[in-house]
Structure 1
Amino acid sequence: MTTGRGLVLGEHARMNSSMTRTAALALCLAVVGNVHAVPCKEQPGAAERRQAVERGLLPAVVFDDEVQPQTLAARMLEHGVPGLAIAVLRGGEVDWVAVHGRRASQAPAVGCATLFQAGSLAKPVTVLAALRLQDAGRLDWDCDVNGLLTSLRLPAGRQTPEHPVTLRGLLVHTAGITPGGYPGYAQAGPVPTAVDVATAAPGTNTPRPEVVLRPGEQLRYSGGGYTLAQLALQDSQKLAFEPLMQRWLFQPLGLSRATFALQRQDAGGDVAAGHGNGATAVPGGWLHLPESAAAGLWSNAGDLAALLAELRKGWQGRSQVFQQSSVRALLGTPVERHLYGFRLVGDGKEQFLVHYGGTTGYNAGMAVNLQTGDGVVYLANAEAGRELSVELLAAVSHAYGWTQFRETRVRRAERDEAALHGLAGRYRFANTGVRVQVEQTQAQLTLVFPNGDRLALTPITADGVALQFIHPTGVRVGFRRGEAGAVTMHLYGNQGVRENSP
């Protein structure tokens, strides 16, 4: 399913498969082969900065005095990421672009033009095309979206004449549309249209997008909302989505590789094939995502970096593509730290616009600081790119002197079996209704999520709180004891209460 990076209760990083570590590394070695950097573009002096990134990867969680930096090649091998494309922005300009690894096992090396599936990065890209259409007077973001749609009519739900579903609401995730993402369709089978998806026609694999909350009431991340936005753009402009995006965004920006066209494996294009956990190849190379605006973007790193650089110019008033007043209006009204497909990370001069994307076999992300012009893009042809990207972003942060995206540094604590007594049991989070389990085996606690993921927790000393634990992915858990044996858990910013003990 397409997802964002934001970790909330129940949406946590997936663990590797149960294959033995030796077998996994052997398979990764076969897939990754000889990982080396191929520079695609470099500013003067950028080679040294790039090499600092490639030599400076640390795990997401670093225990004091226990870990030394490793190379990007070594971490790609460890995680099972066959291929990777990276671009870094510095002061508003693309500082360097480089590619690493292979498109697949026994496949050619990743090239500067190689396409990766970028998943939900499609969402902010779609927003920027819609912004240009609005500035051209060709698109009303605030009318009832049924006035833009001709291929279907939005079914009756929680919307009213006073609170209609609008294109703006769809783009900012406040239209009240059914939440969720898209799993994709196999290469060998039929591929539905966006209209088929939006009406849940036979052969589709997701529910029909419906208005389940009153529009404007709540932020709710929805791939279905972006499919409706896609149809509103297509119908109002009388143009299919790919040529629409080429005309209104990619061509004006001079982007030669970014595309929403479905890629066929039998066409023999320069495409990186996707890989699941353990570097296992996706059957057919990749899945099709006809839900273009939500998840159907293909690109190389250079094109996405150029887009971020031009967005920053628009924010400054130096762009020939984006109007400053429109960019500032767009990015000046966050909703729960979300901005039309972007998320806000950090504050003040250290604030980045960020978006991540994950599809079957791929992981991607991009970030830009509009004040400094610093930023980064990465594209990986493996789901394990999610874990690798945490280390990559931290390495970029160190090499370029940013304060965001750094690794978590903690000090290991010693906790004996008696100190953990009474923490095991089932915990319920009242705000979501989700329940998680904590198991104790001697002096080891394990956090078990509803989907079966098991996270072995390491005790740490942090903030003067005795019962703090962390997992290598960065998931942090705290416990507090109350009266009469009561215990509360703190996880992802939420509080759960123990319902029972084992």
Structure 2
Amino acid sequence: MFKILASVLALGFTEATVADEQEVQKFENALAPTFQLKGRLQTFNMLERMQLYDVPAVSVAIIDDGKIAWSHAWGVSDTTSGKQATEHTLFQAASISKPVSAFAVMQMVDKGELRLDTPINDYLKSWQLPENELSEKTPVTLKHLLSHTAGTTVHGFPGYQLGAEYPSTKDVVAGAGTANTGAVIVDFEPGTNWRYSGGGYTVMQLALEDRAGVWFPEIVNKLTVKPAGMNESFFDFIVPENKKALLASGHLPNGEIVKDGYVVHPESAAASLWTTPNDIATFSLEMMKAWNGVEGALITQKSAKEMLTHIKGGYGLGFSLEMEGDEIIGFKHGGSNVGFRAYMITLLEGKGAVVMTNSDNGMKIIEEILSAAANTYHWPIYQSAVKDWRPATAEERNRFTGSYAFEFQGREIRFNVTAEGEGFLVESQGNLSPTQFFIEGHEKGETYLFAQMGMEFSFSKNEAGELVMKVWGNQAKRLPAQ
């Protein structure tokens, strides 16, 4: 937990204007779980939840009525120095870099400098994406890469220690030199499936560098970051001297600071943006301008519509899509680099939020902040769902407690279930912090449980009559008692 909690709590408001202070104070006491217990509705205080989850700093920007309503930061940017976080503190955006990169691509498409349906190897000069029978049948294009449908490998990147010998973009995609990830290849036919691929975005990065003859960060800063009014941001893995004092330090799950404060990502298109929630909200509003065909937008309405057209996997070009059935109601993206977690969502009706944290534990509080935003600003989604529930019986406590396991990608995932209060406590090997679940009800022989943070699972018997726990779409079998 925080070593300097007293100083965090003493900070209070950091950057709220006088006009915003009352609204921010109301919001900071409105954090809410994804699911609420009927008859026991709860709200939480921001600083108390930061302490609970061991998240040193949280920075938030709220979009309402088509504009930025306010932005504000809580806590400290570095637990060693105790430096106060402000709305100007810079966080690693991690994968929120991807939609900004995609936006720059669409600016080049609008200028006729790129085509979404041209084979990517036509743009690559210094290296070629290895061809095989899959890519020969359907060549990989920019559209495939931006939508994660290219069949390219390498999910994400661990980053490099500050001062290390960083690989070139070519070495990253080739898995050569000092690269710490494997070569990017195609292992399913492009366009036929969806799989998240930071490797694919790095192939796109190299294509643009080969095409333009300049470093990718230079392209995005010139085309998108500066013209969009992201005045405090920079798209680069080399931190400019005048920005170093503004950086937040990343923190590991145990509260320790990441060595040197952060890891470095030469995979710029996928992960290197340093920014603030206010700047990401500004970028989101620029996207909204284009979507609505406002004169002077940085991309055409046609390109904006194409970015927000569902392709596969809930994804468009650059953005993940918020959908109700087949209708697209917003765009979003999360970010996860070592020591940092972030999330942005903008609804097409002009509401949204951007949340950035300097901790690997950040998603826990981000979920509650999004529920607070939805509840406070009347979003059509993300509002806390009120669930009927009941206390677990003594028989259920005895029957369901134990250890369960299932195989995932060649390794065993194990869960331990114990009785806790009126429900159950579930723990897993590194994937789920100890979380309390409550019984929702019975249906067709299954007992459904839910956690207030939003996760659900159920107990039932399989065809062999064995007790199984359904979690994340998998059947976890109960293990023999030891």
TM-score (ref. length: structure 1): 0.85
Q: In the alignment, residue 76 of structure 2 is paired with which amino acid? A: R
2:317 aligned with 1:340: yes
Task: Go from structure 1 to structure 2 and tell me whether the alpha carbon gap of 1:101 and 1:299 turns closer, same or farther (over 3 Å shift).
Answer: same
Against the structure 1 CA distance between its residues 437 and 381, is the aligned structure 2 distance closer, same or farther, given a 3 Å change threshold?
closer
Q: Structure 1 residues 442, 347: CA separation in 2 closer, same or farther (over 3 Å shift)?
A: closer
Aligned pairs (5 A) from 1:4-15: none
Q: Does 1:193 align with 2:168?
A: yes
Write the distance in 2 (CA, Å) between the matches of 1:172 and 1:38.
38
Q: What does residue 302 of structure 2 align with? A: 325
Unaligned runs of 5+ in 2: none
Deviation string 1:411-462 (CA, Å, 9 cap, x unpaired) is 24213246653785655479x6775445455788665656575745534124
Match of 2:330 among 352, 364, 376: 352
**Alignment counterpart, residue 283 of structure 1, candidates 241, 256, 259:** 259
Is 2:54 the counterpart of 1:80?
Answer: yes
Q: Bigger shift: 172-181 or 468-477?
A: 468-477
The residue that corresponds to 2:341 in the other structure is 363
Residue pair 1:158, 1:213 contacting (<8 A) in 2 also: no
- 2:276 corresponds in structure 1 to 300
Q: What is the deviation of 1:258?
A: 1.9
Match of 2:199 among 215, 220, 224: 224
264, 270, 280: which one aligns with 2:246: 270
Q: Which moved more, 1:336-345 or 1:455-464?
A: 455-464
Q: 1:241 to 1:407 in 2, by over 3 A?
A: same
Cα separation, 1, equivalents of 2:431 and 2:374: 33
Q: Aligned partners of 1:373 and 1:391: how far apart in 2?
A: 21
> Which residues in structure 2 correspond to 1:307-318 (within 5 Å)?
307-318=283-294
Identity percentage of aligned residues: 27
Give the whole-Å Cα distance in 1 for the aligned partners of 2:354 and 2:418: 41
Worse overlay, 257-266 or 332-341: 257-266
User: What is the root-mean-square deviation in Å for CA atoms of aligned residues?
Assistant: 2.9
Label 1:375 to 1:438 Cα distance change in 2 as closer, same or farther (>3 A): closer
Distance (Å, rounded) in 2 between the aligned partners of 1:438 and 1:76? 26
Alignment of 1:382 onto 2:382: no
| Pair 176,484 (structure 1): closer, same or farther in 2 beyond 3 Å | closer
Compare 324-333 and 88-97 and name the one that shifted more.
324-333
| Residue correspondence of structure 1 range 207-218 to structure 2 within 5 A | 207-218=182-193
Question: How many residues are paired up?
Answer: 473
Counterparts of 1:145 and 1:489 in 2: how far apart (Å)?
Answer: 44
Q: Which residue of 2 aligns with 1:183?
A: 158
Is the 1:188–1:284 Cα contact (8 Å) retained in structure 2? no
1:236 correspondence with 2:211:
yes
Counterpart of 2:437, as a letter, is T
- Cα pair distance change 1:449/1:74, threshold 3 Å: closer
Report the counterpart of residue 478 of structure 1 in structure 2.
458
Q: CA distance change for structure 1 residues 260 and 484 in 2, over 3 Å: closer, same or farther?
A: closer
Residue 497 of structure 1: how far off its partner (Å): 6.2
Q: Which amino acid aligns with 2:313?
A: E
Match in the other structure for 2:448: 468
| Residue 459 of structure 2 is aligned to residue 458 of structure 1 | no
Structure 1 CA distance for aligned equivalents of residues 123 and 480 of structure 2: 55
Please report how far the alpha carbon of residue 122 of structure 1 lies from its aligned counterpart in structure 2 after TM superposition: 0.5
SS in structure 2 of the partner of residue 87 of structure 1: strand
Q: Secondary structure in 2 aligned to 1:181?
A: coil
8 Å contact kept, 2:415–2:429: no
Tell me the amino acid that sits aligned with residue 359 of structure 1. N
Q: Answer yes or no: is the 8 Å Cα contact 1:60–1:391 preserved in 2.
A: yes
Query: What is residue 400 of structure 1 aligned with on the other side?
Result: 377
Aligned residue in 1 for 2:223: 248
Q: Give the 3 Å change call, closer, same or farther, for CA 351–436 of structure 1 in structure 2.
A: same
Corresponding residue SS for 1:233: helix
Post-superposition offset of 1:50: 2.9
Asked if 2 retains the 8 angstrom alpha-carbon contact of 1:276 and 1:361, the reply is yes
Find the aligned partners of 2:99 and 2:336 in 1 and give their Cα distance: 14
| Residue equivalent to 1:96 | 70
Alpha-carbon distance between aligned partners in 1 of 2:137 and 2:458, rounded to the nearest angstrom: 44
Q: Report the Cα distance in structure 2 between the residues aligned to 1:359 and 1:120, rounded to whole angstroms.
A: 8
Q: Distance in 2 between matches of 1:381 and 1:442?
A: 33
User: Which AA in structure 2 matches 1:182?
Assistant: F
Measure how far apart 1:221 and its partner are. 0.2
What secondary structure, in the 3-state scheme, does the structure 1 residue paired with 2:59 have? Answer: strand
Contact kept in structure 2, 1:350 and 1:402, CA below 8 Å: no
Query: Residue 89 and residue 419 in structure 1: after superposition, are their counterparts in 2 closer, same or farther (change >3 A)?
Result: closer
Q: By how many angstroms is 1:304 displaced?
A: 0.8
Tell me the residue number matched to 1:496. 475
2:310 and 2:321 in contact (8 A); partners too? no
Map 1:42-191 → 2, pairs under 5 A: 47-66=21-40, 68-105=42-79, 106-191=81-166
Alignment of 1:419-458 (within 5 A): 420-421=398-399, 424=402, 426=404, 428=406, 435-439=412-416, 449=428, 455=434, 458=437
User: Which whole-Å CA distance do the structure 2 matches of 1:202 and 1:184 have between them?
Assistant: 15
Q: Quick one: distance in 2 between partners of 1:80 and 1:280?
A: 10
1:176 to 1:415, Cα distance in 2 relative to 1, 3 A: same
* Distance in structure 1 (CA, Å) of the matches to 2:202 and 2:56: 31
**Partner Cα distance (2:439, 2:67) in 1:** 41
Alpha-carbon offset, residue 485 of structure 1: 1.6
Task: State the distance in 2 between where 1:203 and 1:130 align.
Answer: 28
Q: Which moved more, 1:258-267 or 1:327-336?
A: 258-267
1:416 correspondence with 2:390: no
Q: Shift of the alpha carbon at 1:249?
A: 0.8
Cα separation, 1, equivalents of 2:6 and 2:182:
39
Mean Cα deviation higher: 331-340 or 116-125? 331-340
Q: Which amino acid aligns with 1:156?
A: E
- The one-letter amino acid paired with 1:340 is L
The TM-score, its normalising length taken from structure 2, stands at: 0.89
2:30 maps to 1:37:
no
Q: Which one-letter code corresponds to 1:29 in the other structure?
A: L
In structure 2, what is the Cα distance between the partners aligned to 1:421 and 1:155? 53
